[in-house]
Structure 1
Amino acid sequence: MTATPSTATAWVTRSGSQLQLAGKPWRFAGVNMYWLGLDENVTDAAGPTYPTHAAVDNGFSAARSLGAGLVRSISLGVSVGSPRSLEPTLGHFNDAAFASIDYAVADARRYGVRLMIPLTDEWHYYHGGKHTFTNWLGYPDAPGQNCVTDAGQRQREAEFYTDPRIVAAFHAYVAHLLNHVNPYTGLRLGSDPTIAIWETGNEVWDAPTAWTEQTAAYIKSLAPHALVADGSAATGKAISETAYAAPHVDLIDAHFYPTSVATMTSDARFTAAHGKAYMVGEFPLTTQTDSSWTTALATDRDVAGGLAWSLFPWLSATQPEQHDDGYTFHYPGANATERSAVTRLQAYAKQVAGTN
């Protein structure tokens, strides 16, 4: 299944608290596939590997079969600090890393799926994040610690938002990424409507509003037609504490572990009242036992969409790629739990499509 020419080249836009595509209301169901740029689950002697074209094709084919309109992928935008990263060391770029990024973006376009791409990360995952920049520029990591486990680490990483050297280094990274021309499409990544949403970061829960606005404005300078999501929301953080009022922010992205219909509903109303769009960028699918959560997502017109965590490919006809966080699923399902989850996600996608 592929996009029609009119929607493939059209930008997703925002009118107040609602999203539109080709002049019509646009709401979505979707999935997270964080591994599209660099995959920690398939390794060799050098560490995480670039996903194969077959794995990427399998992922996007599955996403479309699930009815996904949007795929969120952290490693397409966060790729720093390791040998196969886009920026392995400060100021030195490894443009070989663009090969997997470019292919994934082109594949999403081919399957008619929009992308959401975060640009940094709160956590100390394999693809790097804000701590990579602070570590590079004079604020060394405390071994084995992160912002939650160690107050000193939290203080050091706070410099990511204010130290002019770090801000400049991060902007240089963002510019290198968004100004890159994809050889498959001939488009700058910042000029490709396939990438509907750039997100300031993944769960950067301590981000000051001033930094979020500065970052959103910078993204808009490089991708003026794309939407920008505030990535400072995280489980347990109230939407009222995020940068909903930042002028260049279009969407508020909330994450739910566990899910809460009451909180989601309240957050969506609050965000809409402030003239911005609201979405659920992560929710666990395999731990849901009924469809009450996805039904609530589908029927609430103040929720632009929800993205399940997380879809993985089949590496062969009998070998589903494994991940150890407890939320992994495959299409059409590697076991009874996954098959039930897939059925609920497909039903959600059909409900959302019926509201557009």
Structure 2
Amino acid sequence: MLAFTTFFLLAGAVLARVVDDRDLPVTRNGSRLYLNNKPWTAAGANVYWLGLDENIVPPWTTSNPKPDPFYAPLNASYPTKGRITEVMSTLKVMGARTIRSQTMGVSVGNPLSIMPELGVVNEKAFESLDWTVSEAKKAGLRIFAPLTDNYDYYHGGKFVFLRWRGIDIGSTGSVDPQVQEFYNNRTIIDDFKNYIKVLLTHRNQYTNLTYAEDPTIFAYETGNELGGPTFGDKNVPVAWTQEITEYIKKLAPTKLTVDGTYGINDTHLNISSVDIYSDHFYPMDIDKLSKGVASVAAVNKVYFAAEYGWTPQSQTKTKSDQFFAWIESQQNKTKPIIAGDHFWSLFTHNVPDCSNFVDHNDGFTLQYGNPKNPANYTDQIAKIRQHLFKMQGQLVSSELPAAPCPGS
């Protein structure tokens, strides 16, 4: 009897130790991220279109006289499940661990949005988000998402919340000072918090977890490139950032929070509910990067280079080799501050068409495996892949292995 008891106790102890890292949350201790009590880096790609796209017009055919859901004024449509599945396999081949995606958090103001009108919830809009989270988990990838946008793009943002309350102002360049009402008007703040609640309490049909519960979404960002009336002014009130990050943690206690201000606002550094600060790099700039990291180091928090342009026009100040080497070297420190970086931005095939790639018009489209890529682009993509694997502690060659396309 004693032998049987001992056997079952030992078997139970072994089973208790077999834990799938994908079921565990990413945590922060000081300036470092951890997964299953091991140091963890967060490097990968921006894939902004996972929840809602602007680059594809669904085909009209005899058998499909009306395209799949499509909002022509903003060219908005849902990405196919195949595109989402392919991008996950591509990210794994590239060595990524993390995905930053605007439309996994920002989806307001058009008929295909999560919230097409104030207080109205479109459950159909969650289909692509649910599938993304499920496929990311299968691939062992993690997601973080901004919750609003500084600009008036197809997926919505702060200007939608302003319009819903009768404030209709311009959204490019220097804009009306009333834009600050997004941060200061109690009604609009509550509208935004209600949207956050709708998003985080949604239960995924594929995982049966709410977004608040699911560790695949490891962090939420207060917004994308947030600022005030003048581009780059970092004019985001401390009180607003604190209230939003505290609210995220109230709804989702295991989530990390990212300050979405465009750049490091020193007045935000002592907000206890912020875990991560970030900046974007167009062009790559080690001086700007090292200065930001030093500021964040002073408060023992984490830093992300959450966007960088990867093409030649983004290497006029610092070459990518230097930029990557500087980030990699920081990982060898006892207390690294910068946890990772994310190139802008990844596109794959127009699945189920596995012959043609989806294009975007901003000049930073990275199409992994496209035989039409010029030689200098292919070389740069190889460097990015080597960097992403090195952030995981692995050395790989400059070869670019094929990523599977799922077709139909």
Would you say same fold, with TM above 0.5?
yes
Match of 1:218 in 2: 247
Alpha-carbon distance change, 247 to 290 in structure 1, aligned in 2, over 3 angstroms: closer
Name the CA distance, whole Å, in 2 between partners of 1:214 and 1:259: 32
Question: Deviation at 1:254?
Answer: 1.0
Give, in whole Å, the separation in 2 of the partners of 1:344 and 1:332: 14
| Contiguous gaps of at least 5 residues in structure 2 | 1-17, 59-69, 228-234, 331-335, 395-408
Deviations 1:84-118 (A, max 9, x none): 01111111111110001100111110110000111
Between the aligned partners of 2:255 and 2:377, the Cα distance in structure 1 is 33
**Deviation of the 1:130 alpha carbon:** 0.5
Q: How does 1:7-156 map to 2 (within 5 A)?
A: 7-44=21-58, 46-47=71-72, 48-141=76-169, 145-146=170-171, 148-150=173-175, 152=176, 155-156=177-178
Greater Cα shift, 239-248 or 131-140? 239-248
Deviations 1:20-62 (A, max 9, x none): 1110111132000000000000135623110001100111111
**1:267 paired to 2:292:** yes
Q: Aligned partner of 2:207: which letter?
A: T
Q: Give the drift of 1:242.
A: 5.6
Structure 1 residue 298 corresponds to structure 2 residue 328: yes
1:233 and 2:262 correspond: yes
Distance 1:344 1:10 in 2: 30
Distance in 2, Cα, partners of 1:262 & 1:332: 32
Deviates more, 1:338-347 or 1:215-224: 338-347
Shift of 1:5: 5.0
Separation (CA, whole Å) in 1 of partners of 2:164 and 2:153: 16
Matches within 5 A, 1:173-192: 173-192=195-214
CA-CA distance at 1:240 after TM superposition: 4.2
Query: Structure 1 residues 229 and 49 mapped into 2: Cα distance closer, same or farther (>3 Å)?
Result: same
Shift of 1:241: 3.5
Of residues 285, 288, 291, the one that matches 2:310 is: 285
C-alpha RMSD of the superposition: 1.6
Rounded to whole Å, the distance in 2 between the matches of 1:201 and 1:348 is 27
Contact between 1:232 and 1:243, CA under 8 Å: does it hold in 2?
Answer: no
Residue 349 (structure 1) aligned with residue 388 (structure 2): yes
**Mean Cα deviation higher: 280-289 or 321-330:** 280-289
Which of 365, 373, 384 lines up with 1:328 in the alignment? Answer: 365
| Number of equivalent positions | 342
Alpha-carbon distance in structure 1 between the residues aligned to 2:279 and 2:179: 22
The two structures have a TM-score, normalised by structure 2, of 0.81
- SS of the residue corresponding to residue 284 of structure 2 reads coil
Spell out, residue by residue over 1:216-247, the C-alpha distance to the aligned partner (whole angstroms, 9 max, x if none): 0000011100100000024xxxx243622111
Q: Give the structure-1-normalised TM-score.
A: 0.92
Q: CA offset at residue 290 of structure 1? A: 4.5
SS in 1 for 2:391: helix
CA distance in 1: counterparts of 2:174 and 2:294, whole angstroms:
33
3-state secondary structure, aligned to 1:62:
helix
Please tell me the residue identity of whatever aligns with 1:65: V
- Deviation at 1:164? 1.1
Matched residue, 1:250: 275
Contact 2:97 2:141 in 1 (8 A): yes
**1-side partners of 2:345 and 2:272: how far apart?**
31
Partner Cα separation in structure 2 for residue 310 and residue 322 of structure 1: 11
Give the stretch that moved more between structures: 332-341 or 271-280. Answer: 332-341
